[in-house]
Structure 1
Amino acid sequence: MSVWLPVAPCTPDGCARHTGAVRAPLPAALLLLAGCALVLLGVACVPPALLLGPVPRGRLTRWWARAVPRAFGVRVSVRGPVPEAVTGGELVVANHISWLDIPLIASVLPGRTVAKSEIRHWPVLGPLAALGGTLFIERDRLRALPAAVREVAAALRSGSRVVAFPEGSTWCGRDGGAFRPAVFQAAIDAGATVRPVRIAYRTAEHRFGPASGAVAFVGSDPLAASLWRVVRAGGLTARVDVLAPIPVDGGDDRRALARRARAAVLGPQGPLRPRQTAVASDRANRPAESVHH
């Protein structure tokens, strides 16, 4: 492990538990099929979508990304001003809880996602991610960090929106990790605006606060187990708060900028008021690392 390869203390057995209403197996299975079908449809549409101009491609991306959480039975609430288009380079930074975070961000602020380099070699998804403009970084090699910062800065200078999860690992939402400063150096070098985004999840029994355990995708939690928890959980709602942009200039310090962004994203969320009615969880108990970056 290195400072560029953080590991969260969250584990599937300790965090990935849902307390609340549970959806019956048959409706849950139908949601799972619908959600997976929509994801595969999105994957198949990547090559033809690249033939579209930026505006229609962005609209298509938003439509698909909005549909994905709903297909898995998750309602979505968006708060804050959402810019219609990128007018200059913008670095979007958010807390990282679940695989759902990615379509949630794409539904509001579609952009080029920063991801670990291993994804490039995944069958089917790797080449498609590359076609979609994903920025791959080598997390386990500190010597590769300057080149990664330059690549992100170049994307920002070109006017692209870049999406990053600077905690570097998924957290269950009860706490959060430090925001790693490297990606903020890219924003400083490019003179790009930083746009903080806060993601939170709740169930019908809980007020917005620490994330519902159903969505927590932590550690080496099997994706299949995570998908099943999500569709079994009744009354899940995701909230995306688009926060005020943080202006950046060449005199900024990347660590101070990272702390400002973290304070905006991981501010007080209100109390959690649990009422247990049932539990849906998996039995995985392995240490944790995000698949994204």
Structure 2
Amino acid sequence: MASRTLRAWRALRLGLHLLLGLLTIALVFPFCGRTSQQRLRQRWSSGLLRTLGIRLEHEGEAVAPGCMLVANHISWVDIFVINALAPAAFVSKAEVRQWPAIGWLAARNDTIFLRRGSRGHARIINMETAALLETGCNVAIFPEGTTTDGSQVLHFHGALLQPAIACKHPVQTLALRYQTADGRYTRAPAYDGDLSLGQCVRNIISTPVIVARVCVAAPLPTGDGTDRRELARLARSLIVAALELPADAEQPRAAPASGTQPGT
């Protein structure tokens, strides 16, 4: 566990870094084009990881522009890990919009908020996602529909991949895992179960060093005839293999992802 002094220092730096982000969004973003905004987002996300004591390591392929990025989901930190690697828009549950500071930042960083259980809203989200992909932006989704502790990968809800299929843009998988400096698994960043956001932050800043490893696979083409359920199964299998988890035949399921139904 990190010393009390280090934890206090990280907490102070985190508050200052969040304030910097709020000021940048409010005072700088309105005068920047999308490319400049993405550079600022990447720089701020990298700084956030350093502030939290998280070291980013990238394995595999480069992230290709205009892809739907599909990742397993462990923590709220996942968003900033991906943005530090390659800035992307995110499809997120609507509840994130209500989070202090982080929700406001997310709303002004191309986050697409999806209301749970609303098919009509899901169709609107699909259109917005496809429009972003068509401009060459990356759009990231977490098709498990919830977070885990990182020791497993839940069933992928295929409906969330539909916008990429509809506009024939590739899907690229990102396998996320968090480890200690000596390569051991850690659940410190996990934001699952009944854990509060504050408790999760304390767990992170209390860990001396966390390594966020992202293994990126080659893009998967989509087009006419692509079955979203098969694509979801393939994407999940690539992530499971990259994480060196057992290739289980029966995929565990979470509650339905926002705007989707079981079995989609």
Asked whether the two chains share a fold, i.e. TM above 0.5, the reply is: yes
User: Could you tell me which of 1, 9, 16 is aligned with 1:37?
Assistant: 16
Q: Does 1:139 align with 2:116?
A: yes
Distance verdict in 2 for CA 1:97–1:118, change over 3 Å: closer
| Partner residue in 2 for 1:260 | 234
In 2, the alpha carbon distance for the partners of 1:122 and 1:174 equals 26
Q: Conserved in 2, the CA contact under 8 Å of 1:96 and 1:171?
A: yes
| Partner residue in 2 for 1:72 | 52
| Partner residue in 2 for 1:26 | 5
* AA of the residue aligned to 1:57: Q
User: Could you tell me which of 210, 225, 229 is aligned with 1:251?
Assistant: 225
Q: Conserved in 2, the CA contact under 8 Å of 1:152 and 1:183?
A: no
User: Could you tell me which of 36, 51, 57 is aligned with 1:56?
Assistant: 36
Distance verdict in 2 for CA 1:52–1:38, change over 3 Å: same
- Per-residue CA deviation, residues 12-33 of structure 1 (Å, 9 max, x unaligned), is xxxxxxxxxx111121111122
User: Which consecutive residues of structure 1, in runs of 5 or more, have no partner in the other structure?
Assistant: 1-21, 272-287
Q: TM-score, normalised by structure 2?
A: 0.84
1:270 Cα deviation (Å)? 4.6
Structure with the higher helix share, 1 or 2: 2
User: Which consecutive residues of structure 2, in runs of 5 or more, have no partner in the other structure?
Assistant: 246-253, 260-264
In 1, the alpha carbon distance for the partners of 2:99 and 2:11 equals 22
| Partner residue in 1 for 2:135 | 158
Distance verdict in 2 for CA 1:43–1:266, change over 3 Å: farther
| Partner residue in 2 for 1:227 | 201
- Per-residue CA deviation, residues 240-292 of structure 1 (Å, 9 max, x unaligned), is 12221111112100001111111111225358xxxxxxxxxxxxxxxx99xx9
Instruction: Answer 1 or 2: higher relative contact order, Cα 8 Å, separation at least 6.
Output: 1
In 1, the alpha carbon distance for the partners of 2:242 and 2:140 equals 23
Q: TM-score, normalised by structure 1?
A: 0.77
1:117 Cα deviation (Å)? 2.4
SS of corresponding position for 1:267:
helix
* AA of the residue aligned to 2:53: G
SS of corresponding position for 1:175:
coil
- Per-residue CA deviation, residues 38-78 of structure 1 (Å, 9 max, x unaligned), is 12311221132242223322222111111111111112211
| Partner residue in 1 for 2:251 | none
Distance verdict in 2 for CA 1:202–1:153, change over 3 Å: same
Q: Conserved in 1, the CA contact under 8 Å of 2:18 and 2:101?
A: no
1:180 Cα deviation (Å)? 0.8
What do you get for the CA RMSD once the two structures are aligned?
2.4
* AA of the residue aligned to 2:237: A
* AA of the residue aligned to 1:155: L
User: Could you tell me which of 179, 191, 199 is aligned with 2:156?
Assistant: 179
In 1, the alpha carbon distance for the partners of 2:222 and 2:159 equals 14
SS of corresponding position for 1:219:
coil
The aligned runs of 1:182-221 (5 Å cut-off) are: 182-207=159-184, 211-221=185-195
* AA of the residue aligned to 1:49: F
SS of corresponding position for 1:214:
coil
